[in-house]
Structure 1
Amino acid sequence: MQDHKKITRALLSVTDKEGLEPLAAALARHGAELVSTGGTAAKLREWGHDVKDVSELTGFPEMMDGRVKTLHPKVHGGILGVRNNADHMAAMDEHGIGPIDMVVVNLYAFEKTVMSGADRDTIIENIDIGGPSMVRSAAKNHEDVAIVTDPLDYDAVIGELDAHGGLTQEFRSILAAKAFALTAAYDAAISSWFAFGDQGQAYPDRRALAMHKADELRYGENPHQKAALYIPQAVAPGIAAARQVQGKALSYNNLNDADAAFDLASEFRGGDPAIVIVKHANPCGVAQASSLRQAWQDALECDSVSAFGGIVAMNRTLDGETAEAIAEIFTEVVIAPDADEAAMAALSKKKNLRLLLTGDLPDPARPGQTMKPIAGGILIQDRDNGKVVRDDLKVVTKRAPSEQELADCLFAWTVAKHVKSNAIVYAKDGMTAGIGAGQMNRRDSARIAAIKAGEAAEKYGWDQPKTVGSAVASDAFFPFADGLLSAAEAGATAVIQPGGSIRDDEVIAAADDAGLAMVFTGMRHFRH
């Protein structure tokens, strides 16, 4: 059975005083002397506790606007002294240093200060020095000292004190691990602000990440892999911060696919109602229409086979009629900024379907970076927030596209940005007509997209596939004319692509011979 080390003296210095009073009461009840600083000491006295000021312990007043108060040997010596080390104990006796058995600290709200838009001087003043120093000292000496940094642990500490009169070595080790993670995350936030916010360095020489675990997932991409969701302190609209209204727990793949769907849906922020259907991180149907219900039908018709078991995202509040239509097929996750009562009632009949409400859509042009692990390192790049508008397009063929063809080109281009390379997207009248994703050559992507369009025409009894008279987008240039000619065979009449191939002249000539209109964007959208 483990020893439960008694707490004879506890130092409490917290910014967030929520839940502190019951902990202080438990410490006092078990005979611990309470030592504190400034506002925390005043609050403890207000609650009726006897408190010794740190200045009384050290013999020095708090000074320099509170910058110096706990940075003293009588504080750190009391924390760091190893109790079973005779030399340490002799030094403590010689210099009148009493042991401190517990430190309860939470740090200045640095990130909250930054997010509030505070000026530089205020941000600097909210870099905690004394707090992290005590946290690290106590965590290092956790054999003898308990370090409590998370208010969520107060109840567990109280429970241990009331049940056993002290804390075990195992419990102190757990608290120490959390403490070191806290100071690491705190320093990461500070270093990130200095690099990005203060110095404007997008890629500093050293980089630290500060995140906390939001959820432990059922498994990773496959059942034999473990996984968890981590999020930064500054939460932005998105899947990680969404409110799950119903359904079973989200898996790694659910979250990954939901993010892909939501990211594409955000491209239509502020536009006509839009629906995105994603399967295995690739869109299999996207549409904009006068109503969300019509957009759903148009998106579904692009590839109803792949839509089975897919993820559905939209750019506006989900209504009951659209929710009922979505519920007619097996759907894993539905994501929307919001949902009305009728929609939630319709989806509630599907107990396993997850409904995520995000509250807003992020700006697709927002800055940011993406990360991808590779063996021995991490690739970091600017997120692909590039956008092409009509004025950016260069007509390179004899025939210029019509207004409708231009609109279809830009819609197809927006979708192609979110399709795994090599990507080919046919679009017509604000909806995808066929999507070819992730092939090793562009010609095969064009053919696969056309095959899917043909299957849809057969299923729904159309006279011809929707690729006939469509615009086709290629996420990168056509290196040869064969991919473009495959698109022409599928019925495409207009093409949008980056250009830039050494065979551009050959491809342009092939487009002219086929009577196609083609525009170059000058921008590529590879997605691997």
Structure 2
Amino acid sequence: MREAERASGRPAAASFEHVSPAGAALAGPVDEATARPYGVDPARVGALAGAYLRARDADPKSSYGDFAAVSREVDLELADLLAGVVSDGIVAPGYAPGVLEVLARKKNGGFLVMEADPGFAPPDEEAREVFGMRLVQDRDRSPLTPELLTDVPVGALSDAARADLLLGLAVLRHTQSNSVCYVRDGRTLGIGAGQQSRVDCTRLAGAKADTWWLRRHPLVQGLAFRPGVRRQDRINWQVRLAEGDLTADERARLRSAVTTDPGDLGPDARAAWLAGLTGVSFASDGALPFRDNVDHAHRHGVTAIAEPGGSIRSAEVEDACRELGVTLARTGLRLFHH
């Protein structure tokens, strides 16, 4: 998050699960679909709390019981928000007066609060021992700056796409490889992490981006839940309806959780709504080895791609971007995290 703020100049937040972020975002506008589950007024939410809400909204099903990370001092607004969600801890460079008292009451004192040293510089080498074998490598210290995105063989990068791609690169540096990231308007829509095949990362993260967009469909937003249905259950039902593959048992349980027939998003309705998802940026931690990554990314609204380049099929990737009208930037920087 420190790297994301340095690259953007805006407060940044992430929602982590296990060794990879479920979502990450910069401070920015909070829409009704993001704010409503948490009882927040989207017009009045502050920058840091808004960044965390936007990060958690990327994959709210996975963010249940997350670990939060933010780039600035935690204020009372964010502390009050964290007090009401299922989360296990937070790491931040500082805490405003009164914040620790709020967080200390969470989970009966079991909520983990960590303070990061903003000036900490990691060692030049990182090491890991595996069954008696010690592996050592130089730490990746390359700064994430706009200069990484000056080699643009196809199209032209807008300022918005450049900012989104820099956020995506910061996320990928700390996401289990192989990894790719879909970003739009300063927030991740889908992160594909730890897959053996890069195109599987692309498809997995693309499906998450589609779900994020479909959760904003009026049918999904219009679910009328019965009193007593918990917040996370409401969120999970929105996600499952958006994903579109409810089992017979799930459909029966959803009907019992709402006051009216939830309806269904048929193929035509889904396709029509997904056609409105555009302006998405896509970053990859390693070179795209085949054009199929471009083809799949384009299906999920991607209009700009950043990848290291250097593959033996990079010319095919470039041709695919040109054919589909996707801007391509080559960073020359691999961001593998193993």
Q: Establish whether residue 370 from structure 1 lines up as the match of residue 123 from structure 2.
A: no
Change (3 A) 1:267 1:363: farther
Q: Establish whether residue 456 from structure 1 lines up as the match of residue 192 from structure 2.
A: no
* Deviation of 1:435 (Å): 0.5
Q: Establish whether residue 313 from structure 1 lines up as the match of residue 69 from structure 2.
A: yes
SS in 2 for 1:339: coil
CA–CA distance in structure 1, aligned partners of residues 301 and 159 of structure 2: 18
Change (3 A) 1:280 1:466: farther
Counterpart pick for 1:353 among 104, 108, 111: 111
Q: 491-500 or 480-489, which moves further after superposition?
A: 480-489
* Deviation of 1:464 (Å): 4.9
CA–CA distance in structure 1, aligned partners of residues 54 and 328 of structure 2: 25
* Deviation of 1:269 (Å): 5.2
Q: For structure 2, which runs of at least 5 residues remain unmatched after alignment? A: 29-46, 219-272
CA–CA distance in structure 1, aligned partners of residues 328 and 105 of structure 2: 48
Q: Which of the two has higher C-alpha Rg? A: 1
Residue 35 (structure 2) aligns with: none
Q: Is the 8 A contact 1:320 1:344 kept in 2?
A: no
Q: Is the 8 A contact 2:4 2:170 kept in 1?
A: no
Q: Is the 8 A contact 1:424 1:435 kept in 2?
A: yes
* Deviation of 1:500 (Å): 0.2
* Deviation of 1:304 (Å): 0.7
- Summarize deviations over 1:390-436 as a string: whole Å, max 9, x none: 22334343311112111211111111111111111011121111100
Counterpart pick for 2:136 among 377, 380, 385: 380
Q: Is the 8 A contact 2:89 2:113 kept in 1?
A: yes
* Deviation of 1:446 (Å): 1.0
Q: Is the 8 A contact 1:412 1:426 kept in 2?
A: yes
Change (3 A) 1:279 1:475: same
Change (3 A) 1:367 1:476: same
Change (3 A) 1:363 1:460: farther
What aligned pairs does 1:72-87 form with structure 2 within 5 A after superposition? Answer: none
What aligned pairs does 1:46-61 form with structure 2 within 5 A after superposition? Answer: none
* Deviation of 1:444 (Å): 0.9
Change (3 A) 1:466 1:441: farther
Q: Is the 8 A contact 2:14 2:56 kept in 1?
A: no
Q: Is the 8 A contact 1:453 1:467 kept in 2?
A: no
Residue 200 (structure 2) aligns with: 444
* Deviation of 1:467 (Å): 6.2
Residue 500 (structure 1) aligns with: 310
Q: If the length of structure 2 is used for normalisation, what is the TM-score?
A: 0.72
* Deviation of 1:367 (Å): 4.6
Q: Is the 8 A contact 1:276 1:283 kept in 2?
A: yes
- Summarize deviations over 1:203-230 as a string: whole Å, max 9, x none: xxxxxxxxxxxxxxxxxxxxxxxxxxxx
Q: Is the 8 A contact 2:4 2:167 kept in 1?
A: no
* Deviation of 1:460 (Å): 4.4
Counterpart pick for 2:96 among 337, 340, 343: 340
SS in 1 for 2:195: coil
CA–CA distance in structure 1, aligned partners of residues 169 and 95 of structure 2: 29
Q: Establish whether residue 331 from structure 1 lines up as the match of residue 69 from structure 2.
A: no
CA–CA distance in structure 2, aligned partners of residues 496 and 363 of structure 1: 29
Of structures 1 and 2, the one with the larger relative CO (CA 8 A, separation 6+) is: 2
CA–CA distance in structure 2, aligned partners of residues 325 and 459 of structure 1: 22
Residue 404 (structure 1) aligns with: 160
CA–CA distance in structure 1, aligned partners of residues 301 and 283 of structure 2: 13
SS in 2 for 1:493: strand
* Deviation of 1:490 (Å): 0.7
* Deviation of 1:333 (Å): 1.1
- Summarize deviations over 1:184-203 as a string: whole Å, max 9, x none: xxxxxxxxxxxxxxxxxxxx
Residue 80 (structure 1) aligns with: none
- Summarize deviations over 1:147-203 as a string: whole Å, max 9, x none: xxxxxxxxxxxxxxxxxxxxxxxxxxxxxxxxxxxxxxxxxxxxxxxxxxxxxxxxx
Q: Is the 8 A contact 2:26 2:186 kept in 1?
A: yes
Counterpart pick for 2:3 among 267, 272, 280: 267
Residue 140 (structure 1) aligns with: none
Q: Is the 8 A contact 2:5 2:71 kept in 1?
A: yes
* Deviation of 1:363 (Å): 5.4
1:304 maps to a residue whose letter is P
* Deviation of 1:458 (Å): 3.4
CA–CA distance in structure 2, aligned partners of residues 464 and 503 of structure 1: 30
* Deviation of 1:450 (Å): 1.5
* Deviation of 1:515 (Å): 0.1
Residue 3 (structure 1) aligns with: none
CA–CA distance in structure 2, aligned partners of residues 398 and 340 of structure 1: 46
Q: Is the 8 A contact 1:421 1:526 kept in 2?
A: yes
* Deviation of 1:353 (Å): 1.2
Count of residues in correspondence between the two structures: 262
CA–CA distance in structure 2, aligned partners of residues 394 and 266 of structure 1: 23
SS in 2 for 1:385: coil
CA–CA distance in structure 1, aligned partners of residues 19 and 81 of structure 2: 22
What is the Cα-based RMSD across aligned positions, in Å?
A: 2.1
Counterpart pick for 2:21 among 283, 288, 301: 283
CA–CA distance in structure 2, aligned partners of residues 480 and 489 of structure 1: 16
2:195 maps to a residue whose letter is Q
Residue 38 (structure 2) aligns with: none
SS in 1 for 2:80: helix
CA–CA distance in structure 1, aligned partners of residues 329 and 134 of structure 2: 36
What aligned pairs does 1:72-471 form with structure 2 within 5 A after superposition? Answer: 265-268=1-4, 271-289=9-27, 291-350=47-106, 351=108, 352-358=110-116, 360-362=117-119, 367-461=123-217, 464=274, 468-471=278-281
Q: If the length of structure 1 is used for normalisation, what is the TM-score?
A: 0.47
* Deviation of 1:513 (Å): 0.4
* Deviation of 1:316 (Å): 1.1
2:334 maps to a residue whose letter is R
SS in 2 for 1:486: helix
